[in-house]
Amino acid sequence: MTLQEYDAKSLKTSWNASDLVGHGGFAAVRKCRHKKLGEVAVKCFSTTGSTEKIEKDIEGQSREAKILSQIKHKNILRVHGITKWSNCFGVLMDFIEGGSLCDILQKNVAIPEIPWGLCVRMLKQLGDALCYLHFYDKNYAFVHGDLKPENILLTLELQVKLADFGSVNLVQITGASRLPSISVQSTTQHTRLYSAPEFLKDPQSKRTVKMDVYSFGMIIFEMITRKSIFHGVAVNMDVLIALILSQKQRPNVQEVEKIKNTVSKQADLQTLELMEKLMNLCWSQKPEDRPPMDNVRDELLLCVEKMDNQQLMTEAFNIRQKMISPKPRNPLETQVSLSQFANPFEKVENPGPFISTGEHIDQKDPTCFIALGGWSTQTDVLQYSPVTNTFTSLPRLNIGRWHLSAASVSEKLLAIGGKLEEDMPTNAVECLDLQKPTEWIHKSPMNENRYHACATTLGEYVYVSGGWNEMKICLSSIECYKLADDEWTIVGNMKTAREGHSLVACNGKLYIFGGYDGSNRLQSAECFDPTTCQSTYLSDMPCINSHHAASYLNGWIYQMGGLDGDLTFLRKVCRFNVAKNEWDSTVPNMMENRVSLGSCVVDGKLYAVGGRSYGDSMTTIESFDESLNKWMIVAQLEKPWYRHSVVAI
């Protein structure tokens, strides 16, 4: 497997310390932006010494990054590749905004308590990550080797991302041949108080998965008590380690009993007792007495499955509101190439531009709309004129697709992504010249394969958000396309990964509603500002909703149809007041229930086109007239249209 190497000139960061996420004696972590990867964290090392030493250091770091790039799991921080410049070396990783487990357990006094259900969910996700590592395949296992709250990162939705693999080992389960280790032998790479007794006794001993299980028990203690392990123990480190080895010293379990005595709800007490039981099993003195990680994870899973997902989401949202807000991103025009840093700790003068946000260009009011793609209409392109109530067939798409996105810009219509006949997602893009609609022309593909994504136009740019990729990962990234350059750039991320959501552009910003995050259907909404590449949460929608449609009309964003939390097909309509950040649910419902429909605004009226339903929605178009406050079926389609896209032109 070849390790991807990125040009340091393509990575943009602040010219000063504002994008310096953290640093230690040997490395600095900088937040950077890349056209294809979007926002990433780059762990930068400055190498010094002889040429031979520098080459050896870089070789070692490259070997570590290569192994880590093979680790792909939703609860593990992803390594994208490496970069080199001057005497510096960097490892590119996902950037996570929510801080670490340590931040919310000990440092964030704004969070007085964390619901026990959320604690178990986070532990279960950490267990998922460790099971992936420990049971990598039938022959090999990864040992993380440095589990502690500081290395457990959290998204703003309190989803776990296991990080900092500086001590990870790849060990062989069967056979006797020696395997490459990416362990750094110095004990500074390993926090000793979280370490298993057998490691403390012999730091040069072979790492085992049971060492991670021991550390997991320590983490459970901190989640229960919100105190550091061995808090208040008045002995020096060497004495404490001797006690751990000789007398099986553990953190003060009386702290756990104190917490249990404050719990009033029976369900919470049962959850807490499960955590306590697993804690005691995991930190057993002998490795053979510790349970395998999959047994621990399975017990946590059973507990989580009994909980109300919506309640967990609400609790996570409430904590998110109390968390320290992330710093605003630096304006793009103040960012410079990472290659300009002689040392990642220093600042760079003469900041330069990264990407222009462009100016708004006026567009003609739409007079008709086009429906394209879909489940049973994969290559069909159909234009409808409300004025004459007529349909016109346009040239067929080159590639049959459904769950696609579409947008128009500068008299051009773009068909973007979707699923192909082979049930595979695609990043392919086609373009039709609406002034001379003779054939579809292939354009540059997106950086990600996407279906169930959304697209919209803002000025001279087309933006695409979210969707599923080929690995069944729900995406949070937002890509931007400029027709004149025929180039796609990942410009940022939504706060929540989403598919089956809606995306509407107005007032120079992108408004994003609902959808599905890969585990739960969503009620949240957010606003992405392309000038700062920052997203902020809006007022929640009136109800959970995915696979709906949304369009902007006269200061309101109308949301139509979709699936609620019970997977009911909806004909419900609500609208969002952009200026007031408020929802109104008094709008009349549509005539038909509709899911995976298309919508647009033409001549001051809303149109809902096709969509799955219990009735005839797939072959009908209905319109809403604000002046009449009424929906009406206005046209019949010759064939069912759903999982398609609709664009006003």
- Per the listing, tokens 């001057």 go with 86
Say if CB 611 and CB 599 are below 8 A apart: no
User: Which residue spans within 57-192 are E strands per DSSP?
Assistant: 79-85, 88-94, 140-143, 152-154, 160-162, 169-172
Question: From CA 586, how far away is CA 144, in angstroms rounded?
Answer: 54
- The 3-state DSSP class for residue 361 equals coil
CA 571, CA 560: separation in Å to the nearest integer? 7
- Classify residue 649 as exposed, middle or buried by CB count within 10 Å of its CB (0-12, 13-18, 19+): middle
- Alpha carbons 587 and 218: distance in angstroms, whole number: 53
DSSP 191-243: -GGGS-HHHHH-TTSPP-HHHHHHHHHHHHHHHHH-S-TTTT--S-HHHHHHH
Task: Enter the tokens of residue 22.
Answer: 């953290």
Question: Angle at CA 610, nearest 5°, toward 607 and 615?
Answer: 120
Q: What is the DSSP letter of 588?
A: P
Check the CA dihedral 333-335-337-343 and report its sign. Answer: positive
Q: How far apart are CA 204 and CA 202, in angstroms?
A: 5
Nearby residues of 362 by Cβ (< 8 Å), 6 or more positions away: none
What are the strands, taking DSSP E only, across 325-476? Answer: 335-337, 369-372, 381-385, 390-393, 405-409, 412-419, 425-433, 440-443, 454-458, 461-465
Cβ atoms within 10 A of the Cβ of 114, count? Answer: 19
Q: Which residue has the tokens 């647009």?
A: 600
- Kindly state the tokens that stand for 219: 């983490």
- Asked if residue 43 belongs to a known ligand binding site, the reply is yes
Contacts 24+ apart (CB under 8 A), 205-211: 206/171, 207/143, 207/145, 207/167, 207/169, 207/171, 207/183, 208/143, 208/171, 208/287, 209/130, 209/133, 209/134, 209/141, 209/143, 209/171, 209/292, 209/293, 210/287, 210/288, 210/290, 211/143, 211/145, 211/287
**Cα distances (Å, whole numbers) of residue 214 to 217, 255, 332:** 5, 19, 45
- Which residues make up each annotated binding site for ATP? 43
